[in-house]
Amino acid sequence: MKKEYLLITVVGFFLASYVLNYFAGPVVISVKNPLQFLTTATLSKYPFTAVEIGLRAIALFLSLIFVLSLMEKNYFLKAISSLIVGALEILYAIQQMATLSRLTPIQWTLSFAYAGLLSLPAIAYYLIRGVIEGVFSRLTKDKKETGGFWDKKP
């Protein structure tokens, strides 16, 4: 996927979340942890807000993917960066909910938490891709140095 399309998708998700936030209006959600919001009672009570939080979480996750796509290869660095950013997002959300501090609105706090959870598959992908790339580069390096197994004459 081209980087421009990804950037436009991210901007579109952010705009859609703001539009839904406008139509949903101000809401007061009291949850103790991010997973408590995902109960059927809460989701049925705040459907617009749930979609808004989901879109914003996807936009935050895709923003991370967009920034990481600017680096060529470096899959282990991408995995470590995704792990750090995802962990910080989750820890920030947990702290905001535990201390009842409202530095950011609850919708943003929940979006950070879910974006952090969304980064887990990206971390696994970058780790697997880094291992495959490392093995492949060593195999091709060995073939170039020795001339390959089939090139040797008995």
pLDDT reported for residue 111: 96
Residues with Cβ within 8 Å of residue 152, at least 6 apart in sequence: 146
3-24 vs 47-69: helix crossing angle, rounded to 10: 160
Query: What is the mean predicted confidence (pLDDT) over 78-85?
Result: 97
Q: CA-to-CA distance for 120 and 98, rounded, in angstroms? A: 23
Instruction: Specify if 137 maps to a domain.
Output: yes
User: For residue 121, what are the domain limits?
Assistant: 3-144
pLDDT at position 143 over 70: no
pLDDT at position 113 over 70: yes
CA dist 93 → 21, 82, 110 (Å) = 19, 17, 7
Residues with Cβ within 8 Å of residue 150, at least 6 apart in sequence: none
State the total domains in the chain.
1
Q: What is the mean pLDDT of the chain?
A: 90
pLDDT reported for residue 147: 57
Closest CA to 86 of 64, 105, 108, 56: 64
Instruction: Specify if 106 maps to a domain.
Output: yes
Neighbouring C-beta atoms of residue 146, cutoff 10 Å:
10
Give this prediction's pTM.
0.86
Query: What is the mean predicted confidence (pLDDT) over 69-94?
Result: 94
Query: What is the mean predicted confidence (pLDDT) over 87-113?
Result: 92
Instruction: Specify if 38 maps to a domain.
Output: yes
Instruction: Specify if 153 maps to a domain.
Output: no
Predicted confidence (pLDDT) per residue in 20-42, tens digit: 999 988 888 888 889 999 999 99
The confidence band for 124, taking pLDDT boundaries of 50, 70 and 90, is very high
